[in-house]
Structure 1
Amino acid sequence: MTEAREPAARPARYTPGTPCWVSLMVHGMAATQEFYGSLFGWEFVPGPQQLGPYVRAQLGGQEVAGIGQLPPDRHLPVAWTPYLASEDVDLTAETVRLCGGTVGVGPLDAGDAGRLLIGLDPSGAVFGVWQAAALLGTSVAGVPGTPAWHELLTVETEGVAKFYETVFGFEEEPVVSADLDYVTLHAGGRPVAGLHGVGHDLPRDRGPHWMTYFEVADADAATRLLVDLGGHVLRPPHDSPHGRVATVADPEGARFSLIENPR
């Protein structure tokens, strides 16, 4: 096991474009809370309820992520969705449309928590946008159970990179490699997300999609626990330049990654 670390406080307000929240819409709220509570040690508090039943996951009383209930008549993919910070969701919605994206939900108010939209980029990947009010977003980082990174898996990065740069003001830093199509997006002078072009390796049943990496203390132990809780291993733990990583899915099929950062 790796050594425990003190939580890192998130900034008082997120730089526009920075992933500030991650949310999962599911069919079975109770079972999903039990799964992630056991896996990550999350506790749950209710609200906001503007989109139906919704809970916020917390670690030590600090906000981490959200889980909501899918309407029973909506057969939508169960997937983790990152929300990117915006100072004006309505203006962001206009820019999304002008740049070839689609606004699927919103903009709308989530009570006094903030204002949001859910959109699709030109490749069809779903993302959210959050204009913070009472809920600034994820308020703890750098400890097991918190989002560590967000990465878009897509066919190729060139076209979709221009979309995100224009809408959110990102600066990009391509990886110079003959066999790797990867772009790191920067906001406020620091890397905040990645775009990974995987070509024909993109899952046919999923299409372009965002992948959230959650930090764990021990990737192998966390993967074993996930299986015991009813989850599925899509790619077993393996070493990467950024730490030991496993790609997994929860019992409803939502894909995410576990990452044990090198110390």
Structure 2
Amino acid sequence: MTAVKARLAQGTPCWVSLMTDDLEGAKEFYRALLGWEFEPGPSQLGAYVRATLNGAKVAGLGVTPPGTGYPVEWTTYFAVDRADDVAQRVRECGGTVAVGPLQAEHAGRLAIAADVSGAVFGLWQGEEHPGWELVDVPGAPAWAELLTPDRSAGVFYDAVFGGHPERTVRPGDLRDGPPRWRVHFTVSDPDLTADQTVRLGGRVLLAPHDTDRGRVARLTDPQGGRFSVVAPQPVGL
């Protein structure tokens, strides 16, 4: 178990948030699949809740603004020291800033941006809410990886955030959909989780399979939000 007690270094993944067109349906699905409970969160951009696991904050779920055409999707947020400064570097490096920076009540300051290939990500300047409080246990985030055809994408992120050894994300193969950050949640048994996903109305995009980082399955929730689950390799294997 890894509890996250302090604010993470700039450029480190620190939060994941789902924008969906059916918040109640999403809550029901992830409660059953990952054991989450929910508490109210900042509401500047619409209804929003934080998912908790054994009382620790692990993710956010919000409602897609009507009429925007935004897809149901998970967004990975990166810790930053000053959201306004980093948002400006995103623009200087050829990316775009679609939302913000704006204040999320007393929780922190955020922006939503895209890199040069169009992969969407968030910036989070944590204040009262530094980010996720638990990782690498069943039901909590494990890691995020970038799916992009641009093999030099790391140059963009290093320029925006500054190089940092704790940012252990890596470009992944782009096989379905546009460039994006894909979030992985830890589970005890990806095979059982994939079966349960189907029973709950979701889909299996890629059946459970072994990788160098553990056994992984790629799934969607009933509204189409894509995510992956992983049972990490035991230490020493």
Matches within 5 A, 1:35-46: 35-46=29-40
Q: Any stretches of 5+ residues in structure 2 without a counterpart? A: none
Q: Does 1:114 align with 2:85?
A: no
Per-residue deviation, 1:259: 0.3
The percent identity for this pair of structures is 48
For residues 104-156 of structure 1, give each alpha carbon's deviation from its aligned partner in whole angstroms, at most 9, with x where no partner exists. Answer: 00000000000000001000010000000000100011210111010010113
SS in 2 for 1:63: strand
Query: Residue by residue, what CA displacement relative to the aligned partner does 1:56-88 show, whole Å, maximum 9, x if unpaired?
Result: 000111100000011221211111100000000
**AA in 1 matched with 2:51:** A
Q: TM-score, normalised by structure 1?
A: 0.87
Q: Distance in 2 between matches of 1:149 and 1:31?
A: 25
In 1, the alpha carbon distance for the partners of 2:179 and 2:167 equals 21
State the one-letter code of the partner of 2:156.
Answer: F
- Kindly indicate whether the alpha-carbon contact (under 8 Å) linking 1:155 and 1:202 is maintained by their aligned counterparts in 2: no
Kept after mapping to 2: 8 A contact 1:80/1:256: yes
Cα pair 2:117 2:150 within 8 Å, conserved:
no
Choose from 224, 231, 247 the match for 2:195: 224
Which letter maps to 2:188? A
Corresponding residue SS for 1:190? coil
TM-score by length of 2: 0.96
Give the Cα–Cα distance (whole angstroms) in 2 for the partners of residues 202 and 79 of structure 1: 16
| Displacement after TM superposition at 1:191 (Å) | 4.5
1:11 offset after TM fit, Å? 4.0
Match of 2:124 in 1: 130
> What residue number does 2:171 align with?
195
1:155 — aligned with what? Answer: 149
Give the RMSD, CA atoms, in angstroms.
1.0
- Asked whether the equivalents of residues 12 and 166 of structure 2 are also in contact (C-alpha less than 8 Å), the reply is no
- Which of 234, 240, 256 aligns to 2:205? It is 234
Q: For residues 106 and 191 of structure 1, do their structure 2 counterparts lie closer, same or farther at Cα, with a shift above 3 Å needed?
A: closer
Matched residue count: 234
What is residue 179 of structure 1 aligned with on the other side?
A: none
Alpha-carbon contact 1:21-1:64 (below 8 Å) kept: yes
Q: Which moved more, 1:66-75 or 1:118-127?
A: 66-75
CA displacement at 1:169 relative to structure 2: 0.9
